[in-house]
A and B are shown apart, each in its own frame.
Chain A
Amino acid sequence: KNEVEQSPQNLTAQEGEFITINCSYSVGISALHWLQQHPGGGIVSLFMLSSGKKKHGRLIATINIQEKHSSLHITASHPRDSAVYICAVPIQGAQKLVFGQGTRLTINP
């Protein structure tokens, strides 16, 4: 079993829809990372969170430490949100990250 599992693997939605991407992990963590990768592009960090909720613009990330689960929400989705979203958790004394397989999000106009 992977230490980090994301769902769904692929998600297609219409512009304006509310999007939820889920991440479950099996190890104890100090914080969980959400990353974004645009097609053919680099990877950028969206959030780090260890409890509760964080919000940046239309993006909201939540985490439940007891349930070892995090969600990434996008409100009023837009085609420019189309990307791969990746969650990651630190392991091995927090020296490195282990990544989920990513969720490919496509927002159609």
Chain B
Amino acid sequence: NAGVTQTPKFRILKIGQSMTLQCAQDMNHNYMYWYRQDPGMGLKLIYYSVGAGITDKGEVPNGYNVSRSTTEDFPLRLELAAPSQTSVYFCASSYGFGTGANEAFFGQGTRLTVV
């Protein structure tokens, strides 16, 4: 099983450039998430989706956009990169956490540097 696949693993952007972080899962999970992890800080939720066609903002959505056209894919778009977006980005997916029986699966992360 591939699980959650994130690409790229590393990227350096110049200020003002755009890019899309790709995330795909093959577990038929309804719930997908994008987090950023700054040094010494906990994971902060950027956007999440509870199913195809449905997305919602998390704690830190400014500067990002998402779409969810299929169950499998949940790309994260940075339109005008800023140094404050230098971080490690993680995509995750789950069946949801309501029953307590469903774990979260994470991608390997994308280390993004904006210079």
Contacts and interface: CB of A to CB of B under 8 A. Distances in A.
Interface of A: 4, 29-31, 33, 35, 41-45, 48, 50, 86, 88, 90, 93-102
Chain B contact patch, size range: 20 to 34
A31 B43 contact: no
A33 B108 contact: no
Given A43-B90, A94-B97, A99 B104 contact: no
B41 A101 contact: yes
B45 A42 contact: no
Contacts, number: 69
B97 A99 contact: no
Given A86-B43, A95-B48, A101-B42, 17 more contacts: A4-B42, A30-B98, A30-B99, A30-B100, A31-B101, A33-B97, A33-B103, A45-B104, A45-B106, A48-B102, A48-B103, A50-B100, A90-B98, A94-B96, A96-B33, A96-B48, A100-B42
Interface of B: 31, 33, 40-43, 45, 48, 50, 58, 90, 92, 96-109
Chain B at the A interface: SS class: loop
